[in-house]
């Protein structure tokens, strides 16, 4: 009868080595895992307005900043983890993302930057931007 020495640590080290070897041999593969907060966004329009809606639950209206420059709408803010730094909290499961965020949205040239409204209710930021009136670019030119 032959005895086989059982070595779970050595087996695990060999498996770990094989996994690292496999991952290192993959050409140009990058693992980019991003757990930052990214609000879900809807953009739609009707005949008179372009609408942007962001789901931002758990964010205070005071922690949001909205700007419009050169037809780029920028929305930034921070979703704060109110339990951060509390040593008494021991998570059993944590799926929510926290942190600063910034979203830039390129808008069509046909908007009126002087007519923008924003509201924030039930964790949804709603921005309404008026569509500029269409200007007739067809013009007859007389020769003098």
Residue 129: pLDDT over 90: yes
pLDDT at 30 over 60: no
Confidence of residue 4 (pLDDT cuts 50, 70, 90): low
- 69: enclosing H helix or E strand: strand 64-69
Domain extents for the chain?
Answer: 40-83+96-131
For residues 112-134, average pLDDT = 91
**Going by C-beta distance under 8 Å and a sequence separation of 6 or more, which residues neighbour residue 129?**
49, 50, 51, 52, 68, 73, 107, 111, 112, 113, 115, 116
CB proximity list for 104: less than 8 A, separation 6 or greater? 72, 73, 74
User: Could you give the CA distance from residue 74 to residue 66 in angstroms, rounded to a whole number?
Assistant: 6
Given this model, what pLDDT does residue 79 score?
87
SS3 state of residue 12 = helix
Task: Check whether 6 has a pLDDT greater than 70.
Answer: no
CATH 2.60.40.790 for the 40-83+96-131 domain, yes or no: yes
pTM for the structure as a whole: 0.65
pLDDT score, position 85: 74
Q: 86: which 2 tokens?
A: 């509390």
Residue 114 tokens, joined? 């002087």
pLDDT given at position 144? 74
Report phi then psi at 143, rounded to 5. Answer: -95, 130
Q: What are phi and psi of 5, to 5 degrees?
A: -75, 125
Q: Does pLDDT of 57 surpass 80?
A: yes
pLDDT tier for residue 23 given thresholds of 50, 70 and 90: low
Pick the range with the lowest mean pLDDT from 16-20, 103-107, 110-114, 121-125.
Answer: 16-20
Q: What percent of the chain has pLDDT over 70?
A: 78
């Amino acid at each position: 009868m032959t005895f086989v020495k059982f070595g779970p640590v050595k087996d695990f080290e060999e498996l770990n080595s094989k996994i690292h070897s496999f991952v290192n041999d993959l050409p140009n593969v990058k693992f980019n895992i991003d757990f930052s907060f990214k609000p879900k966004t809807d953009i739609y329009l009707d005949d008179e307005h372009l609408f942007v809606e962001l789901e931002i639950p758990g964010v205070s209206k005071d922690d949001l900043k909205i700007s419009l420059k050169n037809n780029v709408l920028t929305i930034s803010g921070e979703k704060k983890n109110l339990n951060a730094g509390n040593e008494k909290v021991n998570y059993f499961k944590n799926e929510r993302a926290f942190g600063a965020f910034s979203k830039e949205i390129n808008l069509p040239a046909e908007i009126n930057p002087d007519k923008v409204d924003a509201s924030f209710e039930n964790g949804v930021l709603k921005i309404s931007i008026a569509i500029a009136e269409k200007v007739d670019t067809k013009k007859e030119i007389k020769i003098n």
